[in-house]
Amino acid sequence: MAIRLGDVAPDFTAETTAGTIKFHEWLGDSWGILFSHPKDFTPVCTTELGAVAKITNEFKKRNVKVLAVSVDPLDSHKGWVNDINETQNCSVSYPIIADPDRTVANLYDMIHPNALDNMTVRSVFVIGPDKKVKLTLTYPASTGRNFDEILRVVDSLQLTAKHQVATPANWKDGEDCIIVPAVKDEEIPSKFPKGHRAVKPYLRFTPQPNK
């Protein structure tokens, strides 16, 4: 069964390039990103893992732990990491799960029947400190992911988890937000002291509350 937003992310124990981890225990009170790769030593995946390695500090600033998964074994991962570091001019420091028996891939429905039966699609799961799934993305094997977009989504998720706002199309951290409809007009001055502008009764903007 496909994992839906709001579901508790399935727990698992797995061997990784950083040792054995128990997923929920490893996450602790952090946010998490679990992202899958069709296969080791493939070109798009190599660029993706390198891209994530280069923005590891951005994830750390946001209290986000990153975990990759591929269906190849651990020895293969270790050799692949050397290639990633060499070709992408980076240093991969986050764990990569070895999942040759497809345990994690099947648990998270990463192998789709319309794709090759032994390859994970490019799935992304953003998981909150409550261990619930906040976002899912699925890309075809041929399309590399935009990790700047994933960072943007994390910024939105963390903001909207604490404040009664939503983020508009193409929003970036620091830009105006939308006051959610549940907030009544008379509540706005106390909840959003920076002020607001009403374009329509249902479309009310306010400066980002935590900036």
pLDDT, residue 38, reads 80
pLDDT, residue 114, reads 55
pLDDT, residue 1, reads 59
Which among 157, 158, 153, 203 is positioned nearest to 178, based on CA atoms?
Answer: 203
Which among 83, 103, 136, 98 is positioned nearest to 19, based on CA atoms?
Answer: 98
- CA 110, CA 63: separation in Å to the nearest integer? 25
pLDDT, residue 121, reads 64
Are 199 and 205 in contact by the 8 Å Cβ rule? The answer is yes
- CA 11, CA 203: separation in Å to the nearest integer? 39
Residue 132 token pair:
């619930």
Query: Angle of helix 43-54 relative to helix 74-88, nearest 10 degrees?
Result: 70
CATH class assigned to 13-144: alpha beta
pLDDT, residue 112, reads 63
Candidate list 27, 33, 45, 165, residue with the active-site label: 45
Buried-exposed string 67-82: b where 16+ CB fall within 10 A, e elsewhere? bbbbbbeeebbeebbe
Q: What is the mean pLDDT of each run of 10 residues along the chain (211 residues)?
A: 90 96 98 91 94 97 96 93 97 95 89 57 92 93 91 98 97 97 96 96 97 88
pLDDT, residue 113, reads 59
Q: Which CATH number fits domain 163-206: 3.30.1020.10, 3.40.50.300, 1.10.357.10, 3.40.50.720?
A: 3.30.1020.10
Domain boundaries, the chain: 13-144, 163-206
User: Active site includes 177?
Assistant: no
Query: Angle of helix 43-54 relative to helix 147-162, nearest 10 degrees?
Result: 50
Alpha carbon distances (Å) from 208 to 122, 155, 186, 187, 188: 32, 11, 19, 17, 13
Find residue 124's DSSP bridge partners: 35, 137
